[in-house]
Structure 1
């Protein structure tokens, strides 16, 4: 007698399973799936890599090629969305894509290469053009004239000006 009650209850509830993978699943609003970097918006500021707990995002410079590389490895990603939250240009977005199984590890990597600026004094690459242009709006006029100097050459130039301003000799 108890079995018939259970069957009757199951019939009254109706279908509770999905026909996945034959029918696509709708993910809820706010779902955090695969992150994607928009190469047109990325400025190479390193905010994303600094905020990424599992270090799925790495930013490194290749000075011999004059590029900064932003590397996203989805195999390490925990889909926390910190990268999306800290990106100043909105270049990183978490999609609704969650089916990430692949036969090729290459599918789990995304690389963005950005051209770097060379220091006007020493010639060493130190930042990306896009990041410098993005940051320029925050700089004071006197800082803008040293914008194309690496941090070391900039510090040297500022200290030379301070020494000269205090009467420490001739300004070169």
Structure 2
């Protein structure tokens, strides 16, 4: 099922040389990292808000008058859980996940409480920040995800309250 918001993005894990119209200045050297929503449906489930899509990180590298591009989904706990379940199982900004109505009242209550307490998303799809030599995908939630700026691999989830200690996957 295709989302009403946008077409699902895809990963480009290996650098692809861009076709340049005009020229890239030879003095322009370095990498620009961008972050934003890229996966708007999982299985047959769709997100209800533009800010809910799973994070897709983009890398634009400029060297010697050429540019290469690559992209990868942020492999957050949220992303991994959704992909494993083949549906959206973690609530986001505008997409709430509700208990299964076919279960009894106690199971529904427990599921709802578990979702509130332990299902905080770590889908950091807003920005990339640099802290020392480390790079993090960030948003307005309780966690950040450290990424490798060269490969775009997700290194681990970090809580700012834990003095930037990386939780390795």
The structure richer in strand per residue is 2
TM above 0.5: no
Q: Relative contact order, CA 8 A, sep 6+: which one is greater?
A: 1
TM range (shorter): under 0.3
> With structure 1 as the length reference, what TM-score do the two structures score?
0.23
